Structure 1
């Protein structure tokens, strides 16, 4: 597997569902890293907000639901 940033438009289109589902997560990670947090600290913050007991898929669903409400208050 190669990183999403190295996917061609055709490959990205073939995996549109997975790509768009993860895009919300990576947007939050990017926002925090640009603010000075490390990626590890940001991921820990995500788990702190959503809980370690949830699966990655459930966390991604939560991110999408939060996005429609302007994002989770602890992840802004």
Structure 2
């Protein structure tokens, strides 16, 4: 996908229709989490390793950065 098209979709807030069939899914090297991520066409896809058939969440780089910073800051801690 061309860089200009990615920028337009990101600006519009549209979720792209990415082909994730050939994605290289990566798991965390820490802990025993079930989350996997893949970097595809300038976006970040996240899925549950135990349910790969469920659609992945798709993040823009800015959304991913905000998510990671929030997680590091404990924003999503349940305790």
- TM-score in terms of structure 2 length: 0.29
- TM-score in terms of structure 1 length: 0.29
> Structure with the greater relative contact order (CA < 8 A, sep ≥ 6): 1 or 2?
1
Structure number with higher strand proportion: 2
